[in-house]
Amino acid sequence: MSRNRFGRTAALAAALTLAGTLGACAPIVDRHGYVQEGFDVESVRIGVDNRQSVQQKLGSPSTRGTFQSDVWYYISQEHQQRMFFTPKVTARQVVAVRFARNGLVSEIETLELEDGQEIALVERETPTRGRETTLLQEFFGNIGRFNDALRTGAMGDMIDRR
């Protein structure tokens, strides 16, 4: 009887462990940026809407153009992360609303994750002046060296009085 009870307990523990392990594999979904209920880009009309009407329909932009202040960007992004792995971007949407000089919408562009491009970062390093020393060289190199400021000024007065 106790042997059967041990078997049931072991089976129950194994089932709970398996359920916990499978539950931990579910991805964590996280959304960043501009997410608004009822976001309807189609409601914005080119040549008709101005900045105020776009803000009423779409809300405040995520950012505005740095070099072209007449462009408003609405940016949203979704990440998925499994356990301890690096998060992976699964969805991205960038809506660019451009305004003409008269303040009316001149163009609306929607970009998705597939439209993105990889940017190759430059791996060069700027060389520094001087020489590279190890920790031991720094430690033993300073033995016997004294700062001239200690011999003069307030500390110098204390040394001279002795």
Domain ranges of the chain: 27-117
**What average pLDDT does the chain have?**
78
pTM as predicted: 0.56
Which runs of E-coded beta strand occur in the chain?
28-33, 63-64, 71-81, 88-99, 105-112
pLDDT digits (tens, 9 = 90+) for 35-49: 666 667 888 899 999
**DSSP SS3 for 85:** coil
**DSSP SS3 for 88:** strand
Please tell me the predicted confidence (pLDDT) of residue 160: 52
